[in-house]
Amino acid sequence: MASVTISVQQDVLAERRQKAAELRDEFSRKGTLVVNVVSSPGAGKTSLLQAMARHWNGAFRIAVLVGDIATERDAERLRPHMPAEQLTTGGACHLEIPLVRKGLERLGDRPLDFLFIENIGNLVCPASWDLGEHLRVVLLSTTEGDDKPGKYPKMFRTSHVLVITKSDLLPYVPFNVASAIEDAHQIQPQLSTFVTSALHDEGVDAWCSYLVEERGRMLKSTLLSTHDENDSP
Amino acid sequence: MASVTISVQQDVLAERRQKAAELRDEFSRKGTLVVNVVSSPGAGKTSLLQAMARHWNGAFRIAVLVGDIATERDAERLRPHMPAEQLTTGGACHLEIPLVRKGLERLGDRPLDFLFIENIGNLVCPASWDLGEHLRVVLLSTTEGDDKPGKYPKMFRTSHVLVITKSDLLPYVPFNVASAIEDAHQIQPQLSTFVTSALHDEGVDAWCSYLVEERGRMLKSTLLSTHDENDSP
């Protein structure tokens, strides 16, 4: 027998936005800056997180939820560095909030300064799903070519930061850093940009400093808005 | 007002399979071997097609339909080498047959030995869409890591061929060719495998020879099945 699906699209979208805003508020109140890390498969999301953990070396309380279609491979790579919970979608091309909430339950109620959500390797679908993050960070590896932002515009338009990865391979690949950044800025002029090599621990310091500053801004803004609420009659 | 979508899923799937089989038959009767090229963004689909055109140097009549979410960039790169029509999905994460048929109309009724369909750069969604191809070829670049087949199983399970690309970068990246092939064969033992560098024109000859042999098999099989049909009462 054929199955029948009825979706009331507009209501669903509004509900999704509402749930993401609620989750973001929860994170803000706890002082946890949440970073949704998106990219093509193999652009270096896991390697960058490993390099960041090496750089911080325990200075911040961090954890990661790792999205994959199948396997626990990325969580296994990250567990020596930080608490890591694998979110396996079983085929779906992006993460959604209910799965993120399951991962949060498994992480337990530990205080965190930063929570990273390593999304499914996919430059298309995750662009349409707000996971309650404060920052969306798109990684672009030098081996993918500097023409990618224009070809995958929604992902770059909805991101706050572009991190170019694998800069150690620049001598061997046809990739112009300035062209890639210019192409990305055509789509999203507000993008902050960083150039990194996780393998050689290059550029990771500047990227980590930026995150610490962003967390400071979030803490201040949450503090002020809570203060405002208390002040209101 | 909310929009309401009703989909009768089972019928839709059966209709999709039927349309793909019909298109594949059309291609077979015309003697055109159709190759659906899938991969992550930036794995080198366009560069491999350029290298193949250089290798064949006019020996075969080839054309390409190039899928992208936005821009004509890949078609522009391919037009000096072969007739190329850009299929722009405007956001969708995979190609479907109606868009392929539009591309075929734009290509016109020219006889072709090989038609390549360069799919959207995405290791997830295109796995679920049969475009009427004879061969599905998944590219995996050495810079993406040798752990990808297990993490994106449907794409590797539904492919006939794995082409490892960017072998020139092997000295600089942590990628074990044997491990990647073993991981892929765990999922799909029938996968044929090739290792190539389009930038250095390495391994392209073996891959092109394989395609010529596959086309020979397709022509022979179509000839025999037509003969059988004529024989039947």
The answer to whether A73 contacts B41, with C-beta atoms less than 8 Å apart, is no
A188 inside domain = yes
Q: How far is B63 from chain A (nearest CA, A)?
A: 21
Rounded to two decimals, the ipTM of the complex is 0.88
CA distance A104 to A85: 8
Here the CATH number for the domain that contains residue A208 is: 3.40.50.300
Domain of residue B59 covers 36-222
Q: Is A97 on the interface with B (CB under 8 A)?
A: no
Q: How confident is the model at residue A4, as a pLDDT?
A: 47
Q: How confident is the model at residue B92, as a pLDDT?
A: 95
Q: How far is B87 from chain A (nearest CA, A)?
A: 12
pLDDT, one tens digit per residue, over B45-90 is 999 999 999 999 999 999 999 999 999 999 999 999 999 999 999 9
Nearest chain A residue to B6 by CA distance is A6
Candidates B43, B68, B174; nearest CB to A151: B68
The answer to whether B121 contacts A169, with C-beta atoms less than 8 Å apart, is no
| Contact (Cβ atoms closer than 8 angstroms) between residue A73 and residue A54 | no
The answer to whether B70 contacts A153, with C-beta atoms less than 8 Å apart, is yes
B25 inside domain = no
CA-wise closest residue to B143 among B93, B94, B199: B199
Mean pLDDT in order along chain A per 10 residues (233 residues): 56 92 96 98 98 97 97 96 96 96 95 98 97 98 97 98 98 97 98 98 98 96 71 46
Q: Is A90 on the interface with B (CB under 8 A)?
A: no
Tokens representing A80 are 């020596």
Q: Is B72 on the interface with A (CB under 8 A)?
A: no
The answer to whether A125 contacts B125, with C-beta atoms less than 8 Å apart, is yes
The neighbour count for residue B7, using CB atoms within 10 Å, is 13
Q: Is A206 on the interface with B (CB under 8 A)?
A: no
B7 inside domain = no
The mean pLDDT of B203-231, rounded to a whole number, is 87
A224 inside domain = no
Q: What is the SS3 assignment for B49?
A: helix
Q: How confident is the model at residue A233, as a pLDDT?
A: 42
The answer to whether A145 contacts B4, with C-beta atoms less than 8 Å apart, is no
Nearest chain B residue to A1 by CA distance is B10
Q: How confident is the model at residue B2, as a pLDDT?
A: 44
Q: Is A205 on the interface with B (CB under 8 A)?
A: no
A13 inside domain = no
Q: How far is B72 from chain A (nearest CA, A)?
A: 9
A176 inside domain = yes
Phi and psi (nearest 5°) for B67? -90, 135
CA distance B154 to B126: 10
pLDDT, one tens digit per residue, over B82-117 is 999 999 999 999 999 999 999 999 999 899 999 999
The mean pLDDT of B11-22, rounded to a whole number, is 93
pLDDT, one tens digit per residue, over B156-204 is 999 999 999 999 999 999 999 999 999 999 999 999 999 999 999 999 9
B212 inside domain = yes
A-chain CB neighbours of B124 within 8 Å are 69, 93, 120, 122, 125
Whole-prediction pTM value?
Answer: 0.91
Number of domain units in chain B: 1
The answer to whether A144 contacts B73, with C-beta atoms less than 8 Å apart, is no
Tokens representing A125 are 């679908």
Tokens representing B203 are 């391994």
Q: Is A58 on the interface with B (CB under 8 A)?
A: no
B71 inside domain = yes
